[in-house]
A and B are shown apart, each in its own frame.
Chain A
Amino acid sequence: MKSIHLTASVLAFAAATAMPAFARDQIRIVGSSTVFPYTQAVAEEFANHGGAAPVVESTGTGGGMQIFCGGVGADHPDLTGASRAMKKSEYELCVQNGVTDITEALIGYDGLAIAVNRKNETDWDLTLEQVYKALAAKVPVDGALVDNPYKKWSDIDPSLPDIAIIAYGPPPTSGTRDAFVELAMHKGCEATDYAKALKEAGDKDAYKKFVDEDCSRMRQDGPFIEAGENDNLIVQRLEADPNAVGIFGYSFLYENLDKLKDVKINGVEANQDTIASFEYPIARPLYFYVKNAHRGVIPGLNEFIMEYASKNALGAGGYLSERGLVVLAEDKLAEVQAALTNAVNMAPPEK
C-alpha cells in the first residue's frame, strides 16, 4: 500500500511541476474536419523529413476558431484549418485575445458531392431547385409555403425517376451541413417562383427571414436522414440501398468511384475541374490560418507552413491532389506562397 501511495504522490508532484514549463516542440493544429485529411498529409510528410510530428486535431471549423483565437503562447495552437473564411466575430475574438497577426492561406477547393449507387440506372441530373424541393422542411406549393408534400422524386418533376426520396446527409453540427445548406438549399430556394415573388414584394427583412429560416430547415419527416458525422457510413448505406442518394465531401466520392456515381447538378458533374472553376455549384474554398506571433518561436513552424504551401503539396499533381483536394491555379498558389513567406497579415473580415 505504502509504495502505491508513494507513486501516486510522486506522479502528482511531477505533473504539477512539469506542466507549467511550456516549451513546446510540436506544432499544434486544429480546425475543420474537411481540411483535416490534407493537414494530416502535410504533417506526415513533415515528420518523415525529420520534423517533430505535429499534433493535428479535427475540431470542426467553428470549434477550431474558438481554440485558435484563445490567445498567444505555447498552450494555444499555431494553425487552424477552415472550410469557410474566418467570420468577423471570430476575428474580433482573436483580436480581443491578442491574436492580431494572422495570415490567411487559401489552399484549394472542396466540392460537396451528391452521389448514388452505380447500380442505380438513372442518369441523375438535378437542379438546385429540385434538391431544395426534395429535402426542405417547407416548400412553396401553388403560392403558399406548406410542409413538404413530396414523397417521390417524380412528384417534384415527372422527368425524375418514380422512386421514393431517401437522402443521407450530414447532421447540423457538421461544417459540411452548413455548406450544403448555404450553397445548395439557399440557392435552390431562391430559385423558386415563390422566393422571387417575395423578393419583388420588396420587404427585405421578410425575405431575409424567409431565406434564413424556411430555406435552411431540412425536412424531418423521413426522406432526409441524418447519418452522423461519419461519411463512410453514408457510403455504406448507399452501397446497401441503390435508390438512396448521399451528400458528403467530394473526397469520399473520389475514393469510392467504383461503387458510387455522381449526381449532376444543373448538368455539371463534380470533378476536379468543375469544382475549381466553381462551375459545379456546390463548391467552397478551404483555408488555413497561421498565428504569426508563433513563427520563429515554435520550432519547425516556418518549415511546416512552407511544406504546406509547396508545389509538391498544393500544386497540380501534388500529394494533396492525390487525396482529393481540388488545387489552386498556379498564379493563385504563387500569391498564397508570397503571403505566407512575408507573413502578410489578413485584413479584418467584413462579415
Chain B
Amino acid sequence: MTDISPDTGTGNRFDWTAPAYRERVRKRRRGETWLRIAGLVSISLAIGFLLLMLVSLATTGYKAFTQTHVTLAVKLDPEQIRSDNIAGSNWRQIMQATLAEMFPDLDTAGLREVRGILSDGAQFMVRDRVVADPSLIGTTLNITVPVSDPFDQLNKGGIDRNTPEANRRLNDAQIAAFDKLVEQGLISTPFNWALFRNADSRFPELAGLKGAFIGSIYLLLVCFAIALPVGIGAAIYLEEFAPKNRFSDLIEININNLAAVPSVVFGLLALAVFLNYFGLMRGSPLVGGLTLALMSLPTIIIATRASLKAVPPSIREAALGIGASRQQVVFHHVLPLAMPGIMTGTIIAMAQAIGETAPLLLIGMNAFITAAPSTPFESATTLPTQIFIWADSPERGFVSRTSAAILVLLAILVMLNGAAIWLRRRFERRW
C-alpha cells in the first residue's frame, strides 16, 4: 500500500476542474434553470389570465353594486287613494303628480319627458309602504326610490353628454331635469341592495339575484341530500365489501368514465327521464338537484373511495382483532377517520354543481320569474342561469349586472373551496 501517493487521493482521482466536467455541470444547471423559468412562466400566465378576467369583470361589474336613487316627497292625498282598495289606486298618477310638483316650470309635454326618471318599480314601493301602514294617507311620505336605468347610466358616466341629442338615450330636457335634481341634492348613489333583495326584473335597476340565490340553495340541498348518502354508500360497498372480480372492475371503470361525461349529457337524460317520463315540474330546483346529483355522484364516490383507502389497514385489523363486525369496523372506525377527505370531495363536487349551467338550460331553469321560489317544487333560476339570462338582455344596465353576478358567484365558489381547504387542514390525520 505504499504506492498510494498523495496525488491519487480522493480529490485527484477525478479531475473536478477538467473543462469537460465543468461543461457537464453547467449543462445540468442550465437544464434546471430552464425548468424553473418554464414553471414560473406557466404560473405567471395562469395568474395573468385570472387577473385579466377578474379585472375585466370588476371594471364592468363595480358599477352594478351602487344604484342611483332619488328622494321624493310623495303627497298621499286621501282623495286619490281609494280607502277600500289601497293597492288598486292609481299610483302611477300619484307619482306623476309628485314629479309635477318637483318641476313646477315644466308644461305637460316637458313633464312627459321627465316621467322616465323614476323607475317603474317606484310606484309599487310607495304602494307597498302605504298598504303596510294605511295611517300614512293624508301625510307626505319621504321616500328614496331608484331612478330608471338610462338615468342611472347618466349618473355613472355611461351616457356621453357630448353625443348628438338624436343618438343619445336621453334628450337634453331629460338631462337638464336630472341635473336640477342633482343640484337640489335629491340624487344619491347608495349600495345596490336590490341586487341581493329582489328577484329578477326586466328593469335593470330592480333586478336582483334573490330568486337565483334561493333557487341555487334549494338545488344544492336536493343535490347534497341525494348525492352524499348514495355516493358514500356506493363507495363503502365497493371499497369494503364488494368482492374484487371482473364485475366490480367493470363498475369501477364506469364510475371513472361517468366523472368525465360532459354535463350537458346529464341534462338530456334529465329531460327524457325526470321531465318527460316522470312528469316532474319543468325548471324546478328538485329536477335540477336530481340532475346535478347524478353529475356529482362519480366525484363523490371517487373521493370517498380514496379517503377510505387512505385509512391504514392496522386500524381495521385492530378493530377486527378485538371482535368488531365488518359493519362496526366501517361505521365506528374507518368512516369517521375518512370523513374529512369525504367532506372535501363533497364540497368540491358541490362547488362544481353550483356553477353548472348547461344541463340546467335543457330542463328549463333559465326562465324569467319575478318572484323567488317558496318550495323546491316551483320553477326557479340558479345563479349561473341568471347570469345567462342577463347576458342576453338588451338594456345597458344588464351589462354591468352580468359582471356583478359573476363576481358574486365567484365569491361563493372561493368560499366553498376555502371551506374545503380549511376542513382538510383542520381534520386531516397523517399516519
A residues adjacent to B (C-beta < 8 A): 1, 4-5, 7-8, 11-12, 15, 18-20, 26, 28, 33, 36-37, 39-41, 43-44, 47-48, 50, 52-59, 75, 118, 229-232, 251-252, 254-258, 261, 319, 323-324
Q: Closest chain A residue to B389 by CB distance?
A: A58
Interface size on B, residues (CB 8 A): 49
> Bound state CA distance, A43 and B124, in angstroms?
15
Closest to A41 in B: B202
B contact set with A: CB distance below 8 Å: 87, 120-121, 124, 159-160, 163, 167-169, 199, 201-203, 222, 225-226, 228-230, 232, 278-283, 286, 331, 335, 364, 366-371, 377-379, 389, 391-396, 398-399
Q: A7-B225, A50-B87, A229-B392 are in contact. Are A56 and B167 (CB under 8 A)?
A: no
With a cutoff of 8 Å between Cβ atoms, the chain B residues found around residue A323 in the complex are: 202
Partner of A257, one of B167, B282, B367: B167
Bound: A88/B369 CA distance, A: 31
Bound CA–CA A312/B159 (angstroms):
29
Enumerate the 10 nearest inter-chain pairs by beta-carbon distance, A residue then B residue, closest first.
Answer: A53-B371, A57-B367, A56-B368, A55-B379, A53-B370, A255-B394, A40-B202, A47-B370, A55-B367, A8-B225
Chain A residues with CB under 8 A of B168: 257-258
Contact of B282 among A52, A56, A75 (CB under 8 A): A75
Instruction: Please indicate the chain A residues that have their CB under 8 angstroms from the CB of B395 in the complex.
Output: 255
- Contacting pair B279 A257 (CB below 8 A): no
Given A20-B279, A258-B169: A232 touches B286 (CB 8 Å cut-off): no
Residue on A with the closest CB to B391? A230
| Residue of A56, A57, A254 with most partner-chain B CB within 10 A | A57
For B169, the chain A residues whose CB sits under 8 A away are 255, 257-258
A232-B379 contact, Cβ under 8 Å, with A8-B225, A40-B202: no
Query: Is B87 a contact of A4 with CB atoms below 8 Å?
Result: no
Min Cβ gap B120→A in Å is 8
A7 contacts across to B, CB distance below 8 A: 225
B327–chain A nearest beta-carbon distance, Å: 12
C-alpha spacing A15/B222, complex, angstroms? 10
Nearest chain-B residue to A312 (Cβ)?
B92
Q: Which residues in B have their C-beta under 8 angstroms from that of A39?
A: 368
Neighbouring B residues of A324 by C-beta, 8 Å: 394
CA distance A37 to B204 in the complex (A): 13
Contact call A43/B226, Cβ cutoff below 8 A: no
A–B pairs, 20, beta carbons within 8 Å? A11-B225, A19-B278, A26-B379, A28-B282, A28-B379, A41-B202, A44-B202, A44-B203, A53-B199, A54-B369, A55-B367, A56-B368, A57-B364, A58-B368, A75-B279, A231-B392, A231-B394, A251-B394, A258-B169, A324-B394
On whether the beta carbons of A55 and B369 are closer than 8 Å, the reply is yes
Q: Bound complex: CA of A41 vs CA of B207, how far in Å?
A: 13
Chain A residues with CB below 8 A from B369, complex form: 53-56
Q: Kindly list chain A residues whose C-beta atoms are within 8 Å of the C-beta of B226.
A: 8, 11-12
Give the Cβ gap from A143 to chain B, nearest Cβ, in Å: 44
Picked from B163, B202, B331, the residue with its CB within 8 Å of the CB of A37 is B202
Shortest C-beta distance, A61 to chain B (Å), equals: 16
Q: Give the CA-CA distance A230 to B169 in the complex, in Å.
A: 22
**Known A-B contacts A53-B369, A58-B366, A230-B392; A44 and B379 likewise in contact (beta carbons under 8 Å):** no
Chain B residues with CB below 8 A from A118, complex form: 167
* Contacting pair B394 A252 (CB below 8 A): yes
17 additional A-B pairs beyond A28-B282, A57-B283, A255-B169, beta carbons within 8 Å, are A4-B225, A4-B229, A12-B226, A26-B379, A48-B121, A52-B371, A53-B369, A55-B283, A55-B368, A56-B369, A57-B364, A57-B366, A58-B392, A75-B281, A118-B167, A258-B160, A319-B120
Quick one: which of A47, A59, A230, A258 has the most chain B CB within 10 A? A258
Contact A1 B335 (CB under 8 A): yes
A160 shortest CB reach to chain B, Å: 23
Nearest opposing residue in chain A for B232, CB measure: A1
